[in-house]
Structure 1
Amino acid sequence: MARVLALAGLSVPNFLLGTLLILAVSLYLPNRFPTTGYVPLSEGLGANLRSIFLPSLTLALALSASLMRITRASLAETLHQEYIRVARSKGLHERRVLLVHALRNGLIPVITLLGIHVGYLLGGTVIVEEIFSLPGIGRLALNAIYQRDYPTVQGTVLFIAVAFVLVNLLTDLAYSLIDPRIRLEQ
């Protein structure tokens, strides 16, 4: 069931998922979540969280589906390694084998995918912010393109590029924390 949901999450594009969420919430959960617009944090934490719930869900479903698939594949491969058999033969609890030995070594591909997905999330915000009428960097870039405001377009692209580079740097640094075999050479 989880694999079917992951495949569905990967198959549905953000613009369709956002539109379907707006339709479903407005039909079945009216007045629970606002379907468009943004409530600033200064007007209340609950109202702010309700206003960003649907856009966050729209962006998170595709990311969580691909993370679920890569985590499953990585752990399945890691569980067949020799050191996992050795840990089990030492009599360690299965939970300890999974959490300490398998998960730690299986997280490298997951962290790599997370770093790559930041660019996807930053690019996906343009569509999601437009669908849900949210103010943000994606909508700022889109409005700047419409108005031919080239300095603003360059600024938003530069901001997104710097954020992407910083996240990739943090991803590389996280490798050395997760796997002690990977060391940062000087």
Structure 2
Amino acid sequence: MKKTRAIIYLIVVILLLLAVFYFISGSHSTRNSKSAAQNQRTKKITGNSSSKGSRRNQTSLTAVSINIDGRDFSAHLNNSSASRQLIAMLPYTVRVQGLNSGLEEHTADLQKPLSTSGMPAGAKPHPNDIGYWSPQPRIVLYWGDVGFYDGIHILGSFDNANAKNYIHSLKRPYKITITRK
């Protein structure tokens, strides 16, 4: 009888420990996934892996106007090394060429490469993002989802959700001029 009680007691203790472990690990992974999702949103707009900035923190963003084939759109560039270097060159005009990458983007060659120091090696841009393709120095305007690529660096995004539709509708070549607001 004593052995049976001891075994039952041991089974109950083991089950309680398993339940506690399950709940602790479950809430821990939920917390980590929420933190990871927040980190991804922060990476998108700030262009780095730091969680210090966010889309709401406008102090680290620079307001710009981007004239696309005669139509002005407001946008914000992040505080990444590549964005700071581009901002220092403003106003800046580039020609979007007729290259067709097969992706949902339009690209324009830059005269010189931008520094990507301190930036992630790659990114997954979203529609309305403004990016930099470092393997071949290019500004990239995203009108659709292209997936993650090493060499893509997010510089910022358009404020107007309709910018992506306008960019998608344009026939290349056309010019874009970026100016600081």
Give 1 or 2: higher strand fraction: 2
Could you state the TM-score of these two structures normalised by the residue count of structure 2?
A: 0.26
What's the TM-score, normalizing by structure 1?
0.26
Name the one with the larger helix percent: 1
